[in-house]
A and B are shown apart, each in its own frame.
Chain A
Amino acid sequence: MLEIKNLKVSYDKVEVLHGLSLNVNEGEVVALVGANGAGKSTTLRAVSGLVRADAGTITLDGRRIDGASAVDVTRAGIAHVPEGRRVFAEMSVKENLLVGAFQRSDKDGIARDLASVFERFPRLEERQIQMSGTLSGGEQQMLAIGRALMSDPSVVLMDEPTLGLAPLMCRQIVKIVRELNSQGKTIVLVEQNARMALSVADRAYVIEKGEISVTGTGQELLHNPDIKKAYLGIA
């Protein structure tokens, strides 16, 4: 469904992705793991049109989306939950969610999706008129995910959704990822917490210095001795 081929991206002439390729099939959860600075976020940013590719192609269902604007990528059905639990702090919870639906014009569909986000995250419904900046970290992450869902995407890109959250909250996020997937969303999950990511993922890619070093199913990588040593902290 989503295919990246030989992707090269640079910031200020410094190349950080050196010909990265990966593919994601419909209905899969695919994890991207790797050390800090490996290029995971940059990969997601390239897909969602926030940074330009120097070379390579990105296709969604066979259609090129590299070079498309972030607006067009969102329209094509890809939603991005950026790293750092970013919400519009000075706006209410409900307004945050409505911003997520902005490029849509189907009023009924928006109302339906708003109701389903509130059903999924009852805490957000309770707090819908509250300023988002006053939410707890976990609630903000739910809001960030909810906002992404408001664009009615088929693919959701999640960048380190569990970073800095308490263990209980992390498990909650894992549950949400599973739920979304079982409801038909394709998910690309970026995580530094490799154990968590590999345990939910159907397949995973390890990114090292801007290239894919290893790939396999989540279970294979969980039991791969090199991965255990490098990313799971087990000698």
Chain B
Amino acid sequence: MNTSKTLQFALLSLAVIGGMILLPQGLGLYSVELLNIFLVNVILVCSYRMTVTTGDWGLAHIVMMGVGGYSAALLAKDAGFSIYLTIPAAGLIAAFVAYVMSLPLSRTVGFGYFIASFAIAELVRLSWLKFDTLFGGVRGLINIPIGKVFGYSLFDPVIYYYLSLAVAVICLMLMFQIDRSRIGIVWRSLSTDADLARSGGINVSYYRKLAFMCGSAFAGVAGALLVHRLGSVDPKGFDLTTMIYLVIWVVVGGTGSFWGPIAGLIVMTFFFEWTREFLAWRPLFFGGILILFLIFLPNGLDGLLRKLFDKVTSRGGAKQ
């Protein structure tokens, strides 16, 4: 990026963040609650993209969010940690669990990885059901303390919104930097041609593990934000259906750029709200959209916009 582009980008980011700061003022409490969930999901989709840049499309991500959620809940309830501590701790614990899971997972590739990631994540999820003295079984954990920031109670959705916004902005900045760093470049090289990366001296299994751990850390942070807001956590919230929604957001947005998954999330969140009346039909709509995108727009909205942009800029230009 040259300096004028960097400046444009910085101004645009500031404008978006400024808009996000003003946003709750004109909205009712219900909408602010939706925004709180939306911010959690923004972190979630970006962190999922982080792991799939290596080409490892898996089904474990939502459970990694759950690991963060349960960690935050237990630390707040049993150890009395404040929310300042539970959020980063949830990220670290999720990264550690991801490391353990990646030991067997990194031995699988492609379809094998896809299925194995589901199996191993389900194992984690079942342990929440099985060890009910610790995790509360099917009912999960309730009465999770929420606490205060700067003397303001976080029960107020608007106050919680500002906390979530701050956490989301920090997470996105970190993920954006990682994506553009040499580590991000290597991750993308793995999805393009892992053998070639290996012949260039890249330790493929190390970088796959690292991507899964980093993505899971941010998913864990998202999980902590979620359970503090809801005040409860249970295994149902991290099941396959929820995972499929995450896949749809990311596929619709496209993983080609950092912003694709966020665009997918925004579009599908509106779609989700519009289809509230057709509750029974919703899975069908969403399944249909997933299939249509996979067939006609495999690079998602991001790929579509890029193509249109290339068409517009090449017209009248160097076109023969």
Seen from chain A, the residues whose Cβ lies within 8 Å of a Cβ on chain B are 48, 50, 69-71, 73-75, 79-80, 82, 86-91, 95-96, 98-100, 102-103, 147-148, 151
Given A50-B195, A75-B201, A91-B189, 10 new contacts (CB under 8 A): A50-B199, A70-B198, A71-B201, A88-B192, A95-B189, A99-B186, A102-B182, A102-B185, A102-B202, A103-B202
Find out whether the CB atom of B202 lies under 8 angstroms from the CB atom of A88. no
- Cβ of B196 under 8 Å from chain A: yes
Contacts of A91 in B (CB 8 A): 185, 188-189, 192
Contacts of B197 in A (CB 8 A): 88, 99
Find out whether the CB atom of B200 lies under 8 angstroms from the CB atom of A102. yes
Rounded to whole Å, the gap between the CB of B203 and the closest CB of chain A is 5
Rounded to whole Å, the gap between the CB of A71 and the closest CB of chain B is 5
Find out whether the CB atom of A88 lies under 8 angstroms from the CB atom of B201. no
Closest A residue to B191 by beta carbon equals A90
| Interface flags, B223-248, vs A, CB<8A=1, else 0 | 00000000000000000000000000
CA distance A220 to B182 in the complex (A): 47
CA distance A69 to B202 in the complex (A): 10
**Which listed residue (A79, A86, A102) contacts B196, Cβ 8 A?**
A86
Find out whether the CB atom of A103 lies under 8 angstroms from the CB atom of B192. no
CA distance A75 to B199 in the complex (A): 12
**Contacts of B166-210 to chain A: CB distance below 8 A:** 182, 185-186, 188-189, 191-193, 195-203
Closest 6 CB pairs of A and B: A74-B201, A88-B192, A99-B189, A86-B196, A103-B201, A71-B203
Seen from chain B, the residues whose Cβ lies within 8 Å of a Cβ on chain A are 182, 185-186, 188-189, 191-193, 195-203, 256
Sampled A-B contacts (16; CB under 8 Å):
A48-B199, A50-B195, A70-B199, A71-B201, A80-B200, A86-B196, A88-B188, A88-B196, A89-B192, A90-B191, A90-B192, A95-B188, A99-B185, A99-B200, A103-B201, A148-B200
Q: Are A69 and B200 CB-contacts (below 8 A) given A86-B193, A91-B188?
A: no
Closest B residue to A82 by beta carbon equals B199
Q: Most chain-A Cβ atoms within 10 A of its Cβ — which of B185, B195, B256?
A: B185
CA distance A87 to B196 in the complex (A): 8
Contacts of B195 in A (CB 8 A): 50
Rounded to whole Å, the gap between the CB of B3 and the closest CB of chain A is 15
Q: Most chain-A Cβ atoms within 10 A of its Cβ — which of B185, B199, B256?
A: B199
Q: Are A147 and B200 CB-contacts (below 8 A) given A86-B193, A98-B182, A102-B182?
A: yes
Q: Most chain-A Cβ atoms within 10 A of its Cβ — which of B193, B196, B202?
A: B196
**Which listed residue (A74, A80, A88, A103) contacts B193, Cβ 8 A?**
A88
Q: Most chain-B Cβ atoms within 10 A of its Cβ — which of A91, A99, A148?
A: A99
Contacts of A99 in B (CB 8 A): 185-186, 189, 197, 200, 202
Find out whether the CB atom of B201 lies under 8 angstroms from the CB atom of A73. yes
Find out whether the CB atom of A100 lies under 8 angstroms from the CB atom of B192. no
Rounded to whole Å, the gap between the CB of A133 and the closest CB of chain B is 9
**Which listed residue (A95, A103, A151) contacts B185, Cβ 8 A?**
A95
Find out whether the CB atom of B199 lies under 8 angstroms from the CB atom of A102. no
Contacts of B189 in A (CB 8 A): 88, 91, 95-96, 99
Q: Most chain-A Cβ atoms within 10 A of its Cβ — which of B198, B199, B200, B203?
A: B200
CA distance A73 to B188 in the complex (A): 22
Find out whether the CB atom of A74 lies under 8 angstroms from the CB atom of B185. no
CA distance A89 to B197 in the complex (A): 12
Find out whether the CB atom of B188 lies under 8 angstroms from the CB atom of A151. no
CA distance A71 to B200 in the complex (A): 8
Contacts of A151 in B (CB 8 A): 200-201
CA distance A142 to B200 in the complex (A): 15
Q: Are A100 and B188 CB-contacts (below 8 A) given A86-B193, A88-B193?
A: no
Q: Are A70 and B201 CB-contacts (below 8 A) given A82-B196, A88-B196?
A: yes
Contacts of B203 in A (CB 8 A): 69, 71
**Which listed residue (B185, B193, B199) contacts A98, Cβ 8 A?**
B185
Closest A residue to B188 by beta carbon equals A91
Find out whether the CB atom of A102 lies under 8 angstroms from the CB atom of B193. no
Contacts of A95 in B (CB 8 A): 185, 188-189
Closest A residue to B299 by beta carbon equals A90
Find out whether the CB atom of B188 lies under 8 angstroms from the CB atom of A90. yes
Closest A residue to B183 by beta carbon equals A102
Contacts of A96 in B (CB 8 A): 189
Rounded to whole Å, the gap between the CB of A41 and the closest CB of chain B is 11
CA distance A118 to B264 in the complex (A): 38
Contacts of A148 in B (CB 8 A): 200
Rounded to whole Å, the gap between the CB of B12 and the closest CB of chain A is 20
CA distance A75 to B192 in the complex (A): 23
CA distance A59 to B150 in the complex (A): 65
Contacts of B202 in A (CB 8 A): 70-71, 99, 102-103
